[in-house]
Amino acid sequence: MEGPNDGEFRWTVIIDEHRGDLDIDRALATALADTEDGPVQLWIREVDDDADAAARRAGFRAYRDLWQLRCPLPNAPSGLHTSTFTEDDIDDFVRVNNRAFHWHPEQGGLTADAVRTAMAEPWFDADGFRLLRDDTDENRPLIGFCWTKVHSDHEPPLGEIYVIAIDPSHHGRGLGKPMTLAGLEWLHSAGIDHGMLYVESDNEPANATYAALGFTRHHTDRAYRLDR
């Protein structure tokens, strides 16, 4: 359980996928008894019918589904010339990210300090952070990016499309698909045979792109809220 927090939810409860014989009804009752008044967010990883029913019995209502999609590698070639992320790219990346994800509850509002914190994580690999710049412009503005992450503790290892976006000024040019492929290319070059990403269930354009690339849904993580 996380909290108390000052954001939209004062408390966050997470039921992870490795729950075995966990009595979810009892676990939620205990968590709610241990919290003060205020909105509560519940995440159930790899939700199933039984877990969903337990959440609803506790008074939670579902408001968001996050899908994990997977695909085999290698995939098709991207046809893009991308460059490796460096510290000098932070401001450009933050600007494009926040333009592309202004609507997103987690990815929107990213700061340069948050990027530097991520760069200090042991999983960070700048080579797997691919940038697409406009080489026809002398200023080489950033068009889009595909930030990947390798989950080496998974068996077999999974290569995640961690964050991907095209600057809104370049939407409509069909760059989402090749930008995704650029990330998958790099992951396969790093010895990864399975790609993965998370996507909002209602992001229809993104889901159409990923389906065309051979991604299929592996599981759903579901978020609920309880207003008190």
Which letter does DSSP use for residue 219 in this model? E
Closest CA to 148 of 47, 44, 78: 78
pLDDT of residue 17: 95
Task: Render each residue's pLDDT in the chain as its tens digit; 228 residues.
Answer: 788 888 899 999 999 999 999 999 999 999 999 988 899 999 999 999 999 999 999 999 999 999 999 999 999 999 999 999 999 999 999 999 999 999 888 888 999 999 999 999 999 999 999 999 998 888 899 999 999 999 999 988 999 999 999 999 999 999 999 999 999 999 999 999 999 999 999 999 999 999 999 999 999 999 999 998
Can you give the residue ranges of every domain in the chain?
11-67+222-226, 74-192
Closest CA to 186 of 80, 92, 115, 69: 80
Report the alpha-carbon distance of residue 221 to residue 164 in Å, rounded: 19
pTM value > 0.85: yes
Closest CA to 228 of 9, 5, 39: 39
Name the strand (E) or helix (H) holding 92: helix 90-100
Residue 101 has a CB neighbour count (10 Å cut-off) of 16
74-192 homologous superfamily: Gcn5-related N-acetyltransferase (GNAT) (3.40.630.30)
